[in-house]
Amino acid sequence: MGAFRTGRSVMRLMRIVRILAKHDAGAALGQMGLAGGPLFVLRACSRRKGGGRPGQKLARALTDLGPSFIKLGQSLSTRGDLLGEEIARDLTDLQDHVAPFTFAEARATLESELEAPLEQLFETFDEKPISAASMAQVHFAVTREEDGRPGKEVAVKVLRPGIDLAFERDLELFAWLAALAERTQPRLRRLKPREIVALFAEQVHMELDLRIEAAGMSEINENFEGDETYNLPQVDWRRTGKRVLTMTRMVGTPMDDRQAMLEAGHDLEAVMLKAATIFFHQVFRDGVFHGDQHPGNMGVDREGNIFAVDFGILGRLDRRTRFFLADMMVATLRGDYYRLAEVQVEAGYLPAGRSLDTYAQALRSVCEPIVGRPLHEISFAKLLRQLFSLTESFQMQVQPQLLLLQKNMMMAEGISRILTPELNIWQMSQPLIERWIIDNRGPAARVAQTGHDLQRIMARVPQFLTDLEAIAGEIRGGGLKLHPGTLERLERRRGRGLAWLSLLLSLSALVLALIAVL
């Protein structure tokens, strides 16, 4: 079976090499620092079709290779540390240029998934899709009247037929190539190619179940309940399944169409302030954010409020990571590079044993050039990208959740510079971030967090004592055999342990009392 899989991967690889050579994608691979026989073959076979930068050639090749490679390219666009800034930027613009599948295929999928005839579910259903992407396409429709309620205008997302098998085949190839890269390219092991492929596979499997996308959309809807500035589609769960997602139709002006917004009478500065606030709330307040906020997935409605679609990718940041991000931002703004280095050590990003002084100096080299410059001239997305570029020099571990955040920051900045070049989206969100830092990382917040931690510890003490009693019972009953010397040492330490436990409980009670008073 292993030999068969290897043979199949080699055959698939030969086709990939032909397409890469056709588009002269070897130029991009060479710029990324890859060398050796495969690169020589690519360049020797190159037909040098079309011009453009190396990243643009690679993007065309990935588009030609099909849905899996388009998705892979979009994911790799976050990896400036791996590909280089220029190539990553070119891949950010990679779009799903895929021909739509037929209405008959869409109808068959929909009726099979929802177990009902199309006419029973929808009053009208547009046969021509409004958009077609690598994994799915979207049709406009109107639902049938139900229980006296009129039908609703909806958008229906239908997975591409056979997409599951296509992705499984290519994911198998990616895993094989990643393992090969780790064996033959030692310098790539730090980048953990197998883990990257595993994360990509996890993301793909989630996107192949539209119920998961629907759940993510519902979650963010709940987070912004009562906030009219951010509107998301409502899920029609009756008409939603693994391969079909039905949601309310969102209509408005694309987020990057400046002229259309001006013609519609929108205040662009007000729109960007809403966008900055929404981004802040998703990242810091909620810890869950739209993971693919390119202009095609966002728009502005008639009231000047922002809406978003396509929630196949969600980014998540736990509370601990958000705290580290806040601490890093404070240290950066203060120019305290040693503290910035310390925070990254505390977060586990910098390996133990590396010189903090040397790393702080490297951080200064990246951050110092922006100190004192007007905020609207500073690209924090670029700053974050440069900070991540230090990872190779200091053998730092890659943080996938932060790479997705970086990608979205770059997209947000791009939209900001199109709509309001004289302003900066981070300048708009700065007061919110400062307030959040005070509320969540200030002295009072730290004392409160200590109290919460102690409460959790105190809650575990009864079970801990019960477990100790159970162990003691096992020992007395002969069910657990210990060396006599071990028993003697345990007995000597028993008294000291109880004394320390008593002291801990007393101190915990004192701290909790102080917190209650404060």
- Within 10 A of 330 (CB to CB), how many other CB atoms are there? 17
Among 32-36, 57-61, 347-351, top mean pLDDT goes to: 57-61
For 116, list phi and psi in degrees, rounded to 5.
Answer: -160, 150
Catalytic residues: 292
Q: Are 313 and 213 in contact (CB under 8 A)?
A: no
Among 13-22, 59-68, 239-248, 289-298, top mean pLDDT goes to: 239-248
- For 126-151, what is the mean pLDDT? 90
* Predicted local confidence at residue 223, as pLDDT: 95
* Predicted local confidence at residue 108, as pLDDT: 97
| Cα 456 from chain centre | 30
Helices (H), 117-208: 118-121, 163-184, 193-207
Query: HSE-up of 42 (CA within 13 Å, CB side)?
Result: 23
Range from 87-96, 126-135, 287-296, 471-480 carrying the lowest mean pLDDT: 471-480
Distances in whole angstroms, Cα of residue 200 to Cα of each of 170, 296, 400, 507, 514: 11, 22, 10, 47, 48
Q: How far apart are CA 289 and CA 324, in angstroms?
A: 17
Distances in whole angstroms, Cα of residue 18 to Cα of each of 11, 22, 42, 325, 510: 11, 6, 8, 43, 71
- The two beta strands, 244-248 and 153-159, are antiparallel
Residue 143 has pLDDT above 90, yes or no: yes
Q: How confident is the model at residue 326 (pLDDT cuts 50, 70, 90)?
A: confident
- For 117-144, what is the mean pLDDT? 94
- For 408-431, what is the mean pLDDT? 77
Residue type, 264: A
Crossing angle for the helix pair 425-441 and 400-419, to the nearest 10 degrees: 140
* Predicted local confidence at residue 29, as pLDDT: 63
Q: How confident is the model at residue 142 (pLDDT cuts 50, 70, 90)?
A: very high
* Predicted local confidence at residue 335, as pLDDT: 80
Helix (H, G, I), strand (E, B) or coil at 231: strand
Residue 128 has pLDDT above 90, yes or no: yes
* Predicted local confidence at residue 366, as pLDDT: 80
- Run of H or E residues at 74: helix 67-76
Domain boundaries, the chain: 1-95, 97-249, 252-441, 444-517
Instruction: Give ∠ CA 486-489-495 in degrees, rounded to 5.
Output: 135
Residue 507 has pLDDT above 60, yes or no: no
* Predicted local confidence at residue 482, as pLDDT: 52
Residue 373 has pLDDT above 60, yes or no: yes
Higher confidence at residue 360 or residue 295? 360
Q: How confident is the model at residue 413 (pLDDT cuts 50, 70, 90)?
A: confident
Instruction: Give ∠ CA 24-25-31 in degrees, rounded to 5.
Output: 115
Q: Is 300 exposed, middle or buried (0-12, 13-18, 19+ CB in 10 A)?
A: buried
Distances in whole angstroms, Cα of residue 464 to Cα of each of 446, 454, 460: 26, 15, 6
The two tokens of residue 11 are 């055959």
Q: How confident is the model at residue 513 (pLDDT cuts 50, 70, 90)?
A: very low
- For 404-433, what is the mean pLDDT? 77
- Run of H or E residues at 44: helix 37-45
